[in-house]
Amino acid sequence: MRIGHIQLANRLFAAPMAGVTDRPFRQLCKRLGAGYAVSEMVTSRKDLWTSLKTSRRADHEGETAPISVQIAGTDAAMMAEAAAYNVDRGAQIIDINMGCPAKKVCNKWAGSALMKDEPLAVEIVEAVVAACAPHGVPVTLKMRTGWCASEKNAVRLARAAESAGIAMVAVHGRTREQGYGGMAEYDTVAAVKQAVRIPVVANGDIDTPQKAREVLAATGADAIMIGRPWIFREIAHFLETGEQAPPPSVADVKTWLVDHLGDHYRLHGEYAGVRSARKHIGWTLRGLPGGEEFRARMNAIETCEAQIEAVADWFDALADRSPLMPAAPRAADPAIH
């Protein structure tokens, strides 16, 4: 699997998720088996680039290559400038967001709203490709199947984007109108794959190893994009061997989480880091015996040191009861809608 000239480790992609897929989280996904992880979207608004939020999003220190940054906006020249800005800060791939349904983004005519204005979408693609080409940086596109059920224009837009120089397209199998509701469909993804020569990535509701194999087969997609990081390990194993992976050891999960937390505090600092880490800890623990009680207790902890110690102790106590992770409903991942 390649994006332009860049060879990827495998065909399992972590989906970009605002407020979730920061650099430490992307590293965790890669550690668990993702071959590729896209950043949270970065605005094309220059006045926000120096804000703490955006500058953290553009910090790639120590990130495993390839570094891919998603940009969002509505103005071709601003998007080209945002692409160049992020390439200067280490981006090796630029991804254009035409998939986000959030009102905050769509009201400004960005995200999936761009699918409604194909000439503007193509103008943005051309401008971003022109800004990235001199640096040898491929540009990719993430879109939905269309604006609404009666306007599924993913195939037309993918063809136009390919002609304009896009190196890969990821299709979330929902329309803008669906938001995150209903079920993702894959027929449109399959139609896009038939229509273009560039790699196509299927996304939406891939929540088990079996589903991963089914979606790859049904769409002919070159890769799958997943918003549930804890299943990368299981999916990678299943696609390789055809067999269910054994559950990880409690000690391994503890190491993954403790390392993730350390990385998270280094990026976000103590005050914001301890607070935003709570959701990551909660996703990991939910559904596990005693997880809910621990979550409630943990919300009162205010320092990095105490938080990491409490997590480590909790996992040590769990390991005393069972060396392997007990089965937990994976309603624990951020993308369970």
Ligand X SMILES: Cc1cc2nc3c(=O)[nH]c(=O)nc-3n(C[C@H](O)[C@H](O)[C@H](O)COP(=O)(O)O)c2cc1C
Residues 38-67 that bind ligand X (CB under 6 A): 40-41
Residues 234-263 that bind ligand X (CB under 6 A): none
Of 53-61, 97-105, 147-155, 243-251, the window that binds ligand X (rule: CB under 6 A) is 97-105
Residue 143 CB, nearest approach to ligand X (Å): 9
Asked if 127 and 76 count as a contact pair (C-beta separation under 8 A), the reply is yes
Any contact of residue 334 with ligand X (CB under 6 A)? yes
Any contact of residue 143 with ligand X (CB under 6 A)? no
29 is catalytic: no
Give the phi and the psi of residue 24 in degrees, each rounded to 5.
-60, -40
Q: Which residues contact 132 (CB under 8 A, 6 or more apart)?
A: 83, 84, 87, 94, 138, 139
Task: Write the interaction track for ligand X spanning residues 273-312; mark x where CB under 6 A is met and - where it is not.
Answer: ----------------------------------------
CA atoms within 13 A on the CB side of 337: 13
Of 86-94, 95-103, 194-202, 238-246, the window that binds ligand X (rule: CB under 6 A) is 95-103
Candidates 74, 97, 175, 219; binder of ligand X (CB under 6 A) is: 97
Any contact of residue 33 with ligand X (CB under 6 A)? no
> Whose CB is nearest to ligand X?
227
Residue 202 CB, nearest approach to ligand X (Å): 10
Any contact of residue 172 with ligand X (CB under 6 A)? yes
Nearer to ligand X, 22 or 63 (CB): 22
Task: Write the interaction track for ligand X spanning residues 195-234; mark x where CB under 6 A is met and - where it is not.
Answer: --------xxxx-------------------xxx------
Any contact of residue 110 with ligand X (CB under 6 A)? no
- Give which of 69, 46, 74 is closest to 138, Cα–Cα: 69
Residues 3-32 that bind ligand X (CB under 6 A): 15-20
Residue 69 CB, nearest approach to ligand X (Å): 11
Residue 54 CB, nearest approach to ligand X (Å): 13
Nearer to ligand X, 196 or 335 (CB): 335
Residue 24 CB, nearest approach to ligand X (Å): 16
Any contact of residue 99 with ligand X (CB under 6 A)? yes
Residue 121 CB, nearest approach to ligand X (Å): 14
Give me the residues that bind ligand X (CB under 6 A), please. 15-20, 40-41, 70, 97, 99-100, 142, 172, 203-206, 226-228, 334-335
- Catalytic residue ranges: 100
